Amino acid sequence: MKTVPFKRASNFANHWVLAEQLIQLGARPPIVSQLCRLSRQQSIDLYKSVKGCSPKQGMLPHDHQWVIQSAGRNIHASIFLGILDDIRRRLSIQHATAQVLVDAFSLYKNIASQIFIGPKAIPPVTRQFTLDINRAWSLSSMLLAGDLIFTVCARCKARFLSVIHPNATFSRCPICDVWTDRSGRRRWASAKSKKPN
């Protein structure tokens, strides 16, 4: 039996621990495999071991328009990607590693639970996590590829996400440029939106 050098064994153990953390946060095997240098089968087996069931089948989320489909989605994505981008820049790394994704998503969940789900939650925004770690990984890839950019609102100074070549509708602030319809749903303001009196 061939022995494994300690350094390689240590790296494998670190990848395995990170893979388990990702799965506990809800990451699917293809993401775990890519970020943690595990084979497809290793990722599936670990998923079954951690979750006690087979992983979900089908394509991973990948939609450039997701962050601009509603103000709530944009706020959640902006919080998460803002955290991830700050960590990445502070550590001076080019790409989002497994550890950075775990740390950023854990911080996002903590912050979002305080803002949107706790007893002092902001009522107009949905009281659930609209962003899961699989979508978060997809959005982080789009941000790093330059398909998404941060824009700073001139009024409230919030940092929010826009598409790379936004038109007037897609570059509006999800905090300032939102109105509430009769049913209480928050609507992104646009030229066609019915403005409140």
pLDDT over 60 at 190, yes or no: no
Residue 49 has a CB neighbour count (10 Å cut-off) of 10
pLDDT over 90 at 112, yes or no: no
pLDDT tens-place string over residues 159-168: 999 887 655 4
Please state the separation of Cα 171 from the chain's center in Å: 19
**95 and 47, same domain (yes or no):** no
Per-residue pLDDT, 34: 93
> Structural domain tally of the chain?
2
**43 and 135, same domain (yes or no):** no
**70 and 105, same domain (yes or no):** yes
Distance CA(98)–CA(105), nearest Å, equals: 11
In the chain, pLDDT over 70 holds for what percent of residues?
75
**117 and 158, same domain (yes or no):** yes
End-to-end Cα distance, the chain: 78
Higher pLDDT, 171 or 49: 49
Closest Cα partner for 96 from 31, 162, 165, 163?
Answer: 31
Three-class SS state of 89 = helix
| H/E element, 17 | helix 6-24
**83 and 132, same domain (yes or no):** yes
Let me know if residue 58 belongs to a domain: no
**113 and 173, same domain (yes or no):** yes
What is the average per-residue pLDDT within 171-180?
78
Mean pLDDT, rounded, of the chain: 81
**125 and 32, same domain (yes or no):** no
- The domain containing residue 47 runs over which residues? 6-51
Please list, in sequence order, all residues whose beta carbon lies within 8 angstroms of the beta carbon of residue 193, skipping any fewer than 6 positions away.
Answer: 179, 187
**21 and 116, same domain (yes or no):** no
